[in-house]
């Protein structure tokens, strides 16, 4: 009965040839049988994957403290049939203020959920990994210093993430005639993913006017580094217009995907930061 025995022990005994190390950001987790959890993590080399953390809900688990939401951990993972299994976990960056400061918690949750909603299992995207960790570090630093979360962080993150996942809205050239957009009243189309010049926009009924200042700030957020954006002071009226454009654009893009439905509901109900 060696065959039966091998099957039975497959999830417990680790074949050293099928073990690998990876860094991972814990996006979410769900409880499964026994004291186990399935973690959805984002990794620099494999993108988003699901892993099994065995026995992690037991109070004696040594791994548990390294597998909390928003943690950057180093994992050793063993290949298995359903979910690959975490055999070792150690904290690289705990981001502990992101679990204690309420303003920071909601924003860290937003960063991770948006990443989750925009990625499919196994799409590796090293730039996304760098982006989300960069943004978490900014939040963590502010929370650690007792500062409010930086006002433009989520707006900047939205636009960077859209660019890295292939949904970059077109804010510099007319979506139709491709002429450079001028500082005039132009027209936004969420469905077309960008802005039409006054001439092309006048011919369409699926557009809305977009003010010069709103477009200017969106372009800045899209094309500049965080160090430049951090210093940008956005007037409240413009900030509201930008948040409305970004939120509705995210919903428009995500609605193509059923998987993102829960997140869309949250986007629509939560009062976004700023």
Q: Name the residues that contact Zn ion, by CB under 5 A.
A: 174, 176-177, 197, 200
User: Minimum distance from CB of 265 to Zn ion (Å)?
Assistant: 35
SS3 letters across 68-86: CCCCEEEEEEECCCCCEEE
Residue with smaller CB distance to Zn ion, 174 or 207: 174
d(CA 92, CA 79): 22
User: Minimum distance from CB of 74 to Zn ion (Å)?
Assistant: 50
User: Minimum distance from CB of 191 to Zn ion (Å)?
Assistant: 16
User: Minimum distance from CB of 224 to Zn ion (Å)?
Assistant: 25
User: Minimum distance from CB of 174 to Zn ion (Å)?
Assistant: 3
User: Minimum distance from CB of 199 to Zn ion (Å)?
Assistant: 6
Residue with smaller CB distance to Zn ion, 206 or 262: 206
104 with 143: CB under 8 angstroms? yes
116 with 27: CB under 8 angstroms? yes
Tokens 């027209």 identify what position?
Answer: 187
68 with 99: CB under 8 angstroms? yes
Task: Identify which of 56, 42, 114, 65 has the alpha carbon closest to the alpha carbon of residue 85.
Answer: 56
Residue with smaller CB distance to Zn ion, 23 or 173: 173
Residue with smaller CB distance to Zn ion, 200 or 250: 200
Residue with smaller CB distance to Zn ion, 182 or 244: 182
Q: 267 — phi, psi (to 5°)?
A: -55, -40
Residue with smaller CB distance to Zn ion, 26 or 207: 207
Residue with smaller CB distance to Zn ion, 24 or 200: 200
Which helix or strand (DSSP H or E) is residue 184 part of? none
Residue with smaller CB distance to Zn ion, 176 or 222: 176
d(CA 97, CA 253): 31
Task: Identify which of 121, 117, 111, 126 has the alpha carbon closest to the alpha carbon of residue 48.
Answer: 121
Task: Identify which of 240, 152, 252, 243 has the alpha carbon closest to the alpha carbon of residue 194.
Answer: 252
Contacts of 216 (CB under 8 A, 6+ apart): 183
User: Minimum distance from CB of 181 to Zn ion (Å)?
Assistant: 8
User: Minimum distance from CB of 248 to Zn ion (Å)?
Assistant: 22
Rounded to 5 degrees, what angle do the CA atoms 87, 90, 95 make?
A: 135
């Amino acid at each position: 009965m060696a065959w039966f025995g091998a099957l039975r022990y497959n999830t417990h005994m680790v074949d050293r040839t099928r073990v690998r190390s990876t860094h991972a950001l814990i996006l979410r987790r769900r409880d499964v049988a026994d004291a186990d959890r399935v973690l959805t993590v984002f990794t620099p080399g494999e993108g988003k994957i699901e892993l099994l953390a065995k026995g992690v809900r037991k109070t004696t688990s040594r791994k548990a403290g390294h597998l909390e939401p928003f943690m950057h951990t180093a994992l050793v993972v063993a290949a298995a049939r359903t979910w690959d299994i975490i055999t070792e976990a150690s904290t690289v960056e705990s981001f502990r203020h992101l679990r204690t400061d309420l303003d920071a918690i909601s924003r860290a949750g937003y960063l991770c959920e948006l990443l989750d909603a925009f990625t499919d299992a196994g799409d590796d995207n090293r730039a996304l990994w760098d982006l989300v960790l960069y943004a978490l570090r900014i939040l963590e630093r502010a929370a650690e210093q007792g500062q409010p979360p930086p006002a433009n962080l989520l707006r900047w993150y939205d636009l960077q993430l859209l660019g890295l996942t292939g949904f970059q809205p077109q804010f510099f050239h007319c979506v139709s005639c491709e002429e450079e957009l001028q500082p005039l009243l132009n027209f936004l189309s969420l469905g077309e993913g960008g802005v039409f010049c006054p001439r092309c926009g006048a011919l369409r009924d699926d557009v809305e006017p977009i003010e010069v200042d709103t477009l200017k700030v969106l372009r800045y957020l899209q094309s500049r580094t965080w160090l430049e954006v951090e210093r940008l002071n956005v007037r409240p009226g413009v900030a509201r217009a930008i948040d409305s454009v970004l939120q509705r654009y995210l919903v428009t893009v995500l609605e193509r995907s059923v998987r993102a439905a829960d997140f869309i509901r949250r986007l629509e109900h939560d009062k976004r930061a700023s």
